[in-house]
Structure 1
Amino acid sequence: MTPEVAVDLFRSALWLTAVTVAILVVPSLIAGLIVAVFQAATQINEQTLSFLPRLMVMLVTLMWAGPWLVRQWLEYTETLVHNIPFVIG
């Protein structure tokens, strides 16, 4: 295995991980920011008020983007398995 192949596989894995995390975390961060602004404006300091909307947004995001994310990870894994002979020899 040449260093270029190893770097390319590592780069693909990092990019897929970054995309997966961004798709799942960014909507939750936006929901948390909206709830924080609402709490600051109304002076409500309830911890569950900030947790529940983020949880719901995360679940909706998983339902919406989950099939696409699983398909991307399966394609990457399939590519790795098909390239095993080229990586070894």
Structure 2
Amino acid sequence: MNQGDIITLAQDAIKTVLMISAPMLIFSLVVGLIVSIIQAVTQIQEATLAFVPKIIAVLLSLVIFGPWILQVITEFTTNLITNVSLYIR
């Protein structure tokens, strides 16, 4: 296994992590922005007010995108296990 193979494997792993975390991060970002705008308009500066909707948004995104996330992780793991003979030589 040469350096190119290791870099490709690391790139695939990072790409997979970014793909599976993106839906939850985007949902949390959008909900946080909406809550921040509401807090700025109403002048309610309570930190816990932004925390609970973000948790709910992340859980909702997990429910919505869970099957897709599981599929991406399964494909990556299957590819990794299938090519393990190439990695150990």
What TM-score does the superposition give when structure 2 sets the normalisation length?
A: 0.91
In structure 2, the residue matched to 1:76 is 76
The two structures, once aligned, show a CA RMSD in angstroms of 1.1
Q: Does 1:52 align with 2:52?
A: yes
SS in 2 for 1:26: helix
**Cα distance in 2 between the residues matched to 1:58 and 1:52:** 10
Q: Does 1:25 align with 2:25?
A: yes
* Residues 14-65 of structure 1: CA deviation (Å, up to 9, x unaligned): 1111112222111101100110010000011222221111111111100001
SS in 1 for 2:79: helix
Q: Mind listing any 5+ residue stretches in structure 2 that lack a counterpart? A: none
**Cα distance in 2 between the residues matched to 1:79 and 1:3:** 19
In percent, how many aligned pairs have the same letter? 34
**Cα distance in 2 between the residues matched to 1:45 and 1:86:** 56
Contact 2:20–2:72 (CA<8 Å) still a contact in 1? no
**Cα distance in 1 between the residues matched to 2:24 and 2:60:** 10
Runs of 4+ in 1 over 2 A off after TM superposition: none
**Cα distance in 2 between the residues matched to 1:26 and 1:85:** 37
Q: How many residues align?
A: 89
Whichever residue aligns with residue 20 of structure 1, its letter is I
* Alpha-carbon offset, residue 85 of structure 1: 0.9
Deviating more after overlay: 47-56 vs 8-17: 47-56
In structure 1, the residue matched to 2:40 is 40
